[in-house]
Structure 1
Amino acid sequence: MAAKLGHLAQGAASVLCLLIFFVEPSDSRAQARISGGNGTCISRERDALLSFKAGLLDPAGRLSSWHGEDCCQWAGVRCSSRTGHVVKLDLRNNYVVSAFQGLYTMHYYKSNSLSLSRNEMSSSLVALQQLRYLDMSYNDFNHISIPAFMGSLQKLRYLNLSLSGFGGRIPSQLGNLSNLQYLDISGDYYNVLYTLDLSWLSHLSLLSYLDLTEVDLRAVRGWVHMVNGLSSLKVLRLVDCGLTSIVSATSKSNLTHLQVLDLSSNSFDATLEHNWFFWDLTSLKELHLSRCEWHGPIPEQLANMTSLEVIDFSANDLVGLIPNNLENLCSLKVLNFDDNNIDASIGEFMDRLPWCSWSTLQKLSMRNTTMTGNLPLEVGALGNLTLLSLGNNKLDGVLVKEHFSGLLNLEYLDLSDNSLKMDIEPNWIPPFRLKHINLESCTVGPRFPEWLRWQTRIDYLLLGNTSLDDVIPDWFWVTFSQASALDASENMLRGSLPSNLQHMSAISIGLERNNLTGLVPRLFPINITSLDLSSNSFSGSLPAELKAPQIFMLSLADNKITGTIPSSMCQLTSLARLDLSRNKLTGDVVQCWKESHNNSSVSRANSADQFGSRMYSLDLSNNGLSGEFPKFLQSASQLMFLDLSYNRFFGILPKWLPEKMPRLEILTVRSNMFSGRIPKNLTCLENLYYLDMAHNNISGSIPWLLSNLKAMRVIYKDANDYVYADSMPVITKGQTRDYTVGVFSQVVNVDLSCNSLTGHIPEQISLLIGLTSLDLSSNQLTSKIPNKIGDLKQLQSLDLSNNKFSGEIPSGLSALTYLSYLNLSYNNLSGPIPSGPQLQTLGNQIDIYIGNPGLCGHPISKNCSTSTTDAEQSVVHEDADHIAYLYLGMSIGFVVGLWTVFCTMLLRRTWAISYFQFVDKLYDEVYVRVAITRARLMKKTRKDAA
């Protein structure tokens, strides 16, 4: 919508010359009376308007004046003073909120919209046969198709249906409006309009303004030929229409009166050089070709278009400098080459600017064009320049006051993300009064620039990461009291903030990552929507009265704030992101739910005026908060990020969690005192891809239903557009790492470590193929590690240590090509450690397997060839028991037998003599046999050696 508003602003001059006269030009008195809304209403037309109104919803009461006999006095209705017929019907929704307010734009915009009370629009407007002007733009007509009956209003000269929620196919009956001079049926992303052909355009020969922005024209063949037939066209906008080619059999353009051409956001993927459609249009004043995938050099044919005032080639892949033959482009006002690859010195670029345009140029935008060199002093000679945008380049050097001394009309200055240093004396008084200044990542400090105190018209002030090491001056809060956005984050600013900021008009304030101290301001700016004071040293308690009815984002993280969360927090019902992490807050946080429960009906408990009902991110981690799971979260149906870790919450995890927070993607309750079992219906959270319940008192088994977490069952997952936090600590691979927003979406995690879980790992966990980190360590899990754990091909970290797992290590672990951290220590595992390239990359890390005496093989010292398996060890132990009994029996028998022989020989001497003679004879015989055998062996050995 912002782009659409921009196009309307750019074409304002052209639209003025296209104003439609709704009655006969000879009747000047009638013209005056029409503009004043005079005339006598015709009854059948009044009835038609009332019938049309009856089919509309009008929440803002825009049609409240539509009653009584004289319809010519109604809001938006104009009649001809000569005939009494209705000639103009203006139902445009003119309520527009600043795009900076993000989601609030759509909210307030819709609240003022007219919409349908049923699924079709009343055709009663057909009775207005003298209607010449019809504007229904910026409303919400429930995705219906543009009514075909509009083709019956054949006197229409002006028809505007833009951004009104129309969808579906454009009716060809619009081709019947042969008097039409102005046609705008542009759509939007959410309501897709399309057409299969544009042949109906050929009947609109008087058409001078045509806007089909975001109308799907992909199926249209020969669109160039159709448009080329509209010889009266002065403005043509075909933005984001799915166009891919400008090939046509036509060799010459008939659009000799065309002044504005906008083909932005199409995918032409071609060079600009050989294209008659552009270069024949020598009457053009505005040429918008941004985001079209153009590549190659900037064409020299631009030199032929001497009437050009606006050139917008931004966000393409054009290379090189502008041509050096543009000396006759003396009317240039806007030059936009953002996001291309100029890759040249800014001095060379300035040399190629037409000298005759230096006095006319108003906007020069070259952001992110890889330009190099020092900013030349000649920039200061562009006296009519209102916008200078050179951010995100490779510019360097020192900026002095002479760079800006001639820029008398400058309003917008962007020099951010360069290696520039400002060296301007404190007493310098600038000749300009800026509205927008962005010096992020330039060197502005260490002192706060005094020249800024003269910039009393500032709307946006961005001084993030500018090496400021100073106290925020008192004049800051007065000079910039009317600014919408103030950002001085990532500096070394000191001191405290005023306790009362209610006089400020700021919508956004960012002072994070500084050295600010003192108390959090007692009173916030009344219109504030975003306030970030995180990573400072604010102390004391939170203000008792938090009054900020529109606040959307509030971050006070990483400070030294103490006390409890005040009950007035419950009044901040517009909050979408709340971050109070890393403070010293204590107490319970359930009072918001109690308040809403006591004062509201059950049906209202989840309504839009409840605290948390719009929240998508909540971070309360690293405090001393206590109590049960916060009950106000029953209203948080939009919540996607929830971090309650490192607190003192207790009790069981509620069963209503999946029902009340169905969009949850990230849930971490780490290091609390939660108990009970893992709720089985947790698996109903289809978007959950990060689950951390470590360091609690969770018991029971791991539900096999955990494998139903759909977001973990896919490998590719789109990153969410919402910003949860600037970064988040993730414990994986045995250490804590801070992941930034863009990278964090790639971490798919289940951490149930340090609990009291029992039973086995469900084999179905192998279905969670998107997992990058799995930690089940320090529980009481038993049985074998599932063989299918090798199916988790995305695993980078696996920790199963300090459990009671037995059996062998699954060989599939060696196939996990991304695995860079593994811990299986202190279990009852046995058998050989699997070999494989991935396990070998972990090196000689014996700690991985320590505490498993039954394991053998590399990298531990125990050799599997001298070891036995579990079964073999069992047999050995069993045999050892039998042998022990055998030896015991033999010993007893030997002793008994020996004493029997001795006793016999003592009683009978002849038996003793016979026994010893037998032993001597046996000894002699054995000796002889051994000697003979030994001699034979020695003889054979000598023979073999020979």
Structure 2
Amino acid sequence: MAVEHGHLARAAAAILCLLIFHVAPSDSHSQARGSGGSGTTTCISRERDALMSFKSGFFDPVGLLSSWQGQECCEWKGVRCSNRTGHVVNLNLRGNYIYDVHDFLSLSKGGMSSSLAALQHLRYLDLSGNYFNGTSIPVFLGSLQNLRYLNLSFSSFSGRIPSQLGNLSKLQYLDVNQNYYYDSYNLSVVDLAWLEGLPLLNNLDMSGVDLSPVLDWIYMVNMLSSLRVLRLAHCGLTKTVPATLKSNLTHLELLDLSSNLFNTSLEHNWFWDLTGLKELHLSYCKWHGPIPEELGNMTSLEVIDLSENGLVGLIPSNLENLCNLQVLLFEQSNISASIGEFMDRLPRCSWSTIQVLLMSQTNVTGKLPLGVGALGNLTVLDLSENKLDDVLVKEHFSGLLRLEHLDLSYNSLKMSIDPNWVPPFRLKMVNLHSCPVGPHFPEWLRWQTNIDTLILANTSLVDVLPDWFWVTFSQASLLDASDNMLRGSLPKNLQHMSVDSIYLGSNMLTGQVPQFPINISWLDLSSNSFSGSLPSKLKAPLLAMLLLDNNQITGTIPSSMCQLTGLMRLDLSANNLTGHVLQCLKQSDNNFLVSDTNSADQFGSSMHTLSLRNNDLSGEFPKFIQSAPGLNFLDLSYNRFSGALPNWLPEKLPQLQILRARSNMFSGPIPKNFSCLGELYYLDMASNNISGSIPWSLSNLKAMRDTSKYVAHLAYEDSMAVITKGQTRDYTFKVYSLVVNFDLSCNSLTGQIPEEISLLIGLTGLDLSSNQLTSKIPNKIGDLKQLQSLDLSNNKFSGEIPSSLSALTYLSYLNLSYNNLSGPIPSGPQLQTLDNQIDIYIGNPDLCGYPLPKNCSASTNDAEQSVDHENGNHVVPLHLGMGMGFVVGLWTVFCTMILRTVWAAAYFQIIDNLFDKVYLWVPTACARLMNKTDDDAT
């Protein structure tokens, strides 16, 4: 039967359509959108006029209604008439709005024309898959009382569903599904009482319609005793109905209540009494608890979908009578048992009927039993992201004759399969991501020529990429063998392949980059050892992602790159590219090269991410990015770009979030209008020749003033090297999207830090080091509460360190070294926890206080200032008095000793005694002084 949920729905609808056509063979033809009638039926003129009026209200881009001309409307495409009466009985205008950008009708003005009300004999009306531009479902449809089939699904209607549809008493099929995967609740109802007027209804699909106001929904639906198919997925239902409800839905075969928020136990619900059900869809409903044993009574079940809930435990042990099982969906259920125990509970009588088994993220453990190979009709097997640990041999797969889809990714499943083994199946999809398949490339894949998707990423392959790889998988859509150690080179030309996506990044591949497959959309050859120049002719009109970073590619960027106008992400970083960046200018009528920045097909017009980091590129700031209004990540760092920073950046790149241009030769001032880059939260212009002052207007950078760190657009980069806290760190996108950085270090900036910088309260990193900035550090710098890293070293700042720095509780890196700062170092627990304390303040000789050895207590400062003041006022008189006293005293002593010898002898005896006392006093005084100094320091 059906393999997946969507396929099952379409199959059921198709069968019902065939039944409807079968019951009225004389009124319509079996073809859906083929040619008209037999040519013997004459069109009724008023009905032809009604159809033409209906047509006039639509925009028809590819001429789906181009046959609607002439007199015989019964021969028009999609129109069927009764062979007996000539009345229009079938109008099939099914479009393909969701899947095809052209194959649908679009309502061009107002609402749908009421002219269709003239088709009173209409039995079949299909307007699904068209674009009705958010208009309401027309009320006049309730007047088409002969309708048996009405399909308005996937057509972008909105508003309330008219209760007049309850007048269609002969209606058997009603589908107003609004594709809830794309749109949410565009249609709604306030009650379902009108369903009582549809006693013959056997198929009802209201998925995506807001039924949350309808508390009695089950009682209204329960009146439809003829109902066979009921789909109410994603309807905002929250109230469950107890098992005591006497169900009137005895003919119900399919029930879909998925994607509602019941948030209750799965046990004791009304639907367990529907033992005739063939399909039960209960996914994404937040059911919890065990799977009820009542499941064992539903012996007609073919499809069980209990995925994406909070269910716990194994399936019941009483399922031995469920012999018709075909599809089992248990994804993200907490089974928490061995795969062997699960297999033992599957009814043996269904082993030959099961086609789909999905058990991703179910916490199953153990070894994969050989019994899996006995599921002979299995087409889809998904055991990904579990805890399986086994060595797989060919016997595990030898009985899977019809297997098409195999997903064993993110398990510990090794493979020991004979390289000469030829599998009995022909896979379309195989995913072995992060399984230790290697070291050798699996030879059994050589025979899987039907492969559409092959994923062998991170599978421990240490081998040469085989030549047959490109032949066997030439018709595949996706090939992923990234994060291995594959060697060898690629064919010079891959244009013959129809592949859409190739991921071979992070291997050891060598040689030149090949000519791209003509239909390629995603190409990742990053982190290999490709060398030589890029292909001179790059022909890949659908290419959206090109990753060639971290290779050894040389030469210039070829001008043919300008033809890749659909590129969304381009990464050529970490290569050896030289020369000027291509300008991608167009030729004007006067033979002048101009930048066509308004052209939708201009190179860069779709670009979100551009990285040219770490090459040897030169020239001015790349001008072609003026054509990239959606660019949000730009990395030009570590090149030789020069010239002034462009003033057009805010106007042309309004979505720019990350700008890295460090280690180039840009010069001149920072444009003041950079403040208009409202989305910019990461600015790194370090290590250039930028001069002038820091514009105060940069304080208006909105994204840096936001502490929520919300990132408006995904920047696509997997990781980025961020220089912060004095180190280079690789951050993943999820991490560096939280890094709000402002780095203008190693330039020639002068003047002072604008006081307004304190308004950038979202900053986590601020680096203005190695410039020529002067004056004081702004006192309000402590308002930057999110700062984790602050570097103001190697400038000419003076004055005291703001005490507000001690309030930065997230600060883990600070550098204020080599300035002219003075005064005491602020105290605070956060500053004292920083590493390399002395290094933070070195090169500022006038700073004092902890952690420096220089003391600067308040009392000492006051005393020293008082003494200095007094000495300054009296130094001249003091020195003059001392000089005169010394002269007078000296001559008095000399004269006395000359006149009296006895006095001279007595004098020198006194001097000797004084010397002896001083000799004993000096050591003692020095010891006391040393002890006092130690106490003061403590």
Instruction: State whether TM-score is above 0.5.
Output: yes
d(CA) in 2 for partners of 1:785, 1:264? 60
Match of 2:59 among 49, 57, 60: 57
1:509 match: 502
Cα pair distance change 1:723/1:451, threshold 3 Å: farther
1:228 match: 222
Following TM superposition, by how much is the alpha carbon of 1:36 offset from its aligned partner in structure 2, in angstroms? 5.3
Following TM superposition, by how much is the alpha carbon of 1:121 offset from its aligned partner in structure 2, in angstroms? 2.7
1:320 match: 313
Following TM superposition, by how much is the alpha carbon of 1:431 offset from its aligned partner in structure 2, in angstroms? 0.9
1:174 match: 165
Match of 1:441 among 428, 434, 453: 434
d(CA) in 1 for partners of 2:636, 2:7? 47
Q: Give the SS at the match of 1:622.
A: coil
Following TM superposition, by how much is the alpha carbon of 1:140 offset from its aligned partner in structure 2, in angstroms? 2.4
Cα pair distance change 1:600/1:54, threshold 3 Å: farther
d(CA) in 2 for partners of 1:94, 1:699? 58
Following TM superposition, by how much is the alpha carbon of 1:398 offset from its aligned partner in structure 2, in angstroms? 0.7
Following TM superposition, by how much is the alpha carbon of 1:344 offset from its aligned partner in structure 2, in angstroms? 1.1
1:156 match: 147
Counterpart residue type for residue 575 of structure 2: N
TM-score (normalised: structure 1): 0.89
Q: Give the SS at the match of 1:18.
A: helix
Counterpart residue type for residue 135 of structure 1: D
Q: Deviations over 1:535-586 (max 9, x none)?
A: 0000111111100011111111110111111111111111111111111111
Alignment of 1:391-402 (within 5 A): 391-402=384-395
1:78 match: 80
Following TM superposition, by how much is the alpha carbon of 1:279 offset from its aligned partner in structure 2, in angstroms? 0.4
Within the alignment, does 1:765 sit opposite 2:757 as a pair? yes
Match of 1:185 among 171, 176, 183: 176
Cα pair distance change 1:903/1:321, threshold 3 Å: closer
Q: Give the SS at the match of 1:413.
A: strand
Q: Deviations over 1:738-765 (max 9, x none)?
A: 1112222222222222222233333333
Q: Deviations over 1:9-51 (max 9, x none)?
A: 1123422342277789466486469975213222222222222
d(CA) in 2 for partners of 1:831, 1:96? 70
d(CA) in 1 for partners of 2:552, 2:246? 71
1:271 match: 265
Q: Is the 8 A contact 1:459 1:483 kept in 2?
A: yes
Match of 2:603 among 596, 607, 611: 611
Q: Is the 8 A contact 1:33 1:81 kept in 2?
A: no
d(CA) in 1 for partners of 2:844, 2:333? 60
Within the alignment, does 1:146 sit opposite 2:137 as a pair? yes
Q: Give the SS at the match of 2:857.
A: helix
Cα pair distance change 1:26/1:211, threshold 3 Å: closer
Q: Give the SS at the match of 1:585.
A: strand
1:254 match: 248
Following TM superposition, by how much is the alpha carbon of 1:721 offset from its aligned partner in structure 2, in angstroms? 6.9
d(CA) in 2 for partners of 1:848, 1:537? 42
Following TM superposition, by how much is the alpha carbon of 1:199 offset from its aligned partner in structure 2, in angstroms? 2.5
Counterpart residue type for residue 46 of structure 1: R
Cα pair distance change 1:148/1:493, threshold 3 Å: same
Counterpart residue type for residue 269 of structure 2: N
Q: Is the 8 A contact 1:606 1:634 kept in 2?
A: no
d(CA) in 2 for partners of 1:533, 1:260? 47
1:453 match: 446
Q: Deviations over 1:343-390 (max 9, x none)?
A: 111111111111111111111111111111111111111111111111
Alignment of 1:456-467 (within 5 A): 456-467=449-460
Match of 1:634 among 623, 626, 635: 626
More displaced 10-residue stretch of structure 1: 71-80 or 714-723: 714-723
2:119 match: 128
Following TM superposition, by how much is the alpha carbon of 1:843 offset from its aligned partner in structure 2, in angstroms? 4.6
Following TM superposition, by how much is the alpha carbon of 1:87 offset from its aligned partner in structure 2, in angstroms? 2.1
Following TM superposition, by how much is the alpha carbon of 1:311 offset from its aligned partner in structure 2, in angstroms? 0.9
d(CA) in 2 for partners of 1:475, 1:249? 59
Q: Give the SS at the match of 2:585.
A: helix
d(CA) in 1 for partners of 2:539, 2:85? 56
Q: Is the 8 A contact 1:85 1:130 kept in 2?
A: yes
Match of 1:591 among 583, 587, 591: 583
2:7 match: 9
Q: Is the 8 A contact 1:844 1:859 kept in 2?
A: no
Q: Is the 8 A contact 2:300 2:322 kept in 1?
A: yes
d(CA) in 2 for partners of 1:282, 1:600? 77
Q: CA RMSD in A?
A: 3.2
Counterpart residue type for residue 782 of structure 1: T
Alignment of 1:493-572 (within 5 A): 493-521=486-514, 523-572=515-564
Q: Deviations over 1:838-867 (max 9, x none)?
A: 223225522122222232232222223278
Q: Number of aligned pairs?
A: 896
Following TM superposition, by how much is the alpha carbon of 1:57 offset from its aligned partner in structure 2, in angstroms? 1.5
Cα pair distance change 1:720/1:397, threshold 3 Å: farther
TM-score (normalised: structure 2): 0.89
Same amino acid, percent of matched pairs: 69
Following TM superposition, by how much is the alpha carbon of 1:903 offset from its aligned partner in structure 2, in angstroms? 12
Q: Give the SS at the match of 2:566.
A: coil
Match of 2:289 among 272, 296, 300: 296
Q: Give the SS at the match of 2:52.
A: helix
Cα pair distance change 1:458/1:313, threshold 3 Å: same
Alignment of 1:15-54 (within 5 A): 15-19=13-17, 25=23, 28=26, 31=29, 37-38=36-37, 39-54=41-56
d(CA) in 2 for partners of 1:851, 1:677? 29
d(CA) in 2 for partners of 1:136, 1:130? 17
Unaligned runs of 5+ in 2: 911-938
Cα pair distance change 1:897/1:453, threshold 3 Å: closer
Alignment of 1:282-293 (within 5 A): 282-293=275-286
Match of 1:375 among 361, 368, 371: 368
2:783 match: 791
Following TM superposition, by how much is the alpha carbon of 1:248 offset from its aligned partner in structure 2, in angstroms? 6.5
Match of 2:820 among 821, 828, 837: 828
Counterpart residue type for residue 180 of structure 1: L
d(CA) in 1 for partners of 2:531, 2:636? 21
Match of 1:336 among 329, 333, 349: 329
Q: Give the SS at the match of 2:17.
A: coil
d(CA) in 2 for partners of 1:538, 1:851? 47
Q: Give the SS at the match of 2:875.
A: helix
